[in-house]
Amino acid sequence: MLQKLLNDKYITLETTPPKLPTLDFMLDKLEKSDALHFIDGFTTTDCPLSKLKYNSIIAAFRLQKKFKKPVIATMSMRDRNKIALQSDLLGANDLGVTNILALTGDPAKMSDQPNTKAVVEGSSLLLLDIIRAFNNGMDYAGKEFKIKPKPITPFAVSNSYAKNFATIEKKIYKKIKKYAKGIITQPVYDLEIVDKILEIKNKIKMEFKDDRKNFEIVLGFFPITKLKTAQFLHSHVPGIYVPDEWINKLIKAHKINEEEEKKVGLELSKNLFQKLLKLHPKIHIMTANKFEIVKELF
């Protein structure tokens, strides 16, 4: 997976495991969606918005086993101390889940479970340090394992927009310094912003003389089919910018009818997606489990 990330087209699809004691329904939905023909791998989310969901590591294992495609399993710092993080990494390693997305996680106060408390010993940088230790054959305390774990490929995330892009550069740099191999951004909707992100990538690559320069940016992409989605992402999700042009066109379509609104949104999304494929074909597609949308983009 790492070599494809660094040297080839690389398209992943986000999956959010359900709040169910089985993954079968999600697997069936994926199989029927035709999305499998267009993607190179998956990610599994880890209780996004602090809502209870099926385990991300076990979901990654089942996806890999069924579809024979690599999966990046998200691990949130919100729910685990150093012991639990390392325990989960050991189990994931045994299952062959060796692509890990280090995420600080959404606040526990957003949870659907009463009086939930976060277990936060550090940001995603701590998990990157732990993965580095595992890749050197030892735990975070520096004690060598009797059996060296399989190599783990660490991923991290980044905002795609800020009023001052120096803040984005600084945060990406810190994660690459901790040996992250892939940085998955928040959704992008503007080519000028993409250019700035890729400039940051190239600048950071020049900072390192060792293997850390071999990393890649993966552009997040969430197809927009409704005006309310565009307005919500632009106004309420930090680190995402939706151009006024998109919002104005969706407002106009919304006034006609729902069908026109969806048509305009998909057209805007597909046009941008095709441009991204030519500019930087390393893209992470997010669909909120509406996997059938994937084939509409290609």
> What are the pLDDT digits (tens) for 222-272?
999 999 999 999 888 888 999 999 999 999 999 999 999 999 999 999 999
CB 118 within 8 A of CB 84: no
- Give Cα 68 to chain centroid, integer Å: 19
Query: What pLDDT does 1 receive?
Result: 76
Residue for token pair 């197809």: 223
Q: How do residues 164-215 score in pLDDT, each as one tens digit?
A: 999 999 999 999 999 999 999 999 999 999 999 999 999 999 999 999 999 9
CATH classification of 2-223+282-292 is 3.90.950.20, yes or no?
Answer: no
As a whole number of angstroms, the distance between CA 183 and CA 159 comes to 10
CB 72 within 8 A of CB 12: yes
- Torsion angle of C-alpha atoms 54, 56, 57, 58, degrees rounded to 10: 30
pLDDT-derived band of residue 36, with 50, 70 and 90 as boundaries?
very high
CA distances from 134 to 58, 147, 221 (A): 20, 11, 31
42, containing H or E segment: strand 41-44
| 272 phi and psi angles, rounded to 5 deg | -70, -45
Q: How do residues 106-165 score in pLDDT, each as one tens digit?
A: 999 999 999 999 998 999 999 999 999 999 999 999 999 999 999 999 999 999 999 999
DSSP string across 174-202: HHHHTT--EEEEEE---HHHHHHHHHHHH
CB 42 within 8 A of CB 287: no
| 76 phi and psi angles, rounded to 5 deg | -95, 135
Among residues 115, 281, 255, 142, which one has the least CA distance to residue 198? 281
Residue type at 25 in one-letter notation = F
CB 209 within 8 A of CB 183: no
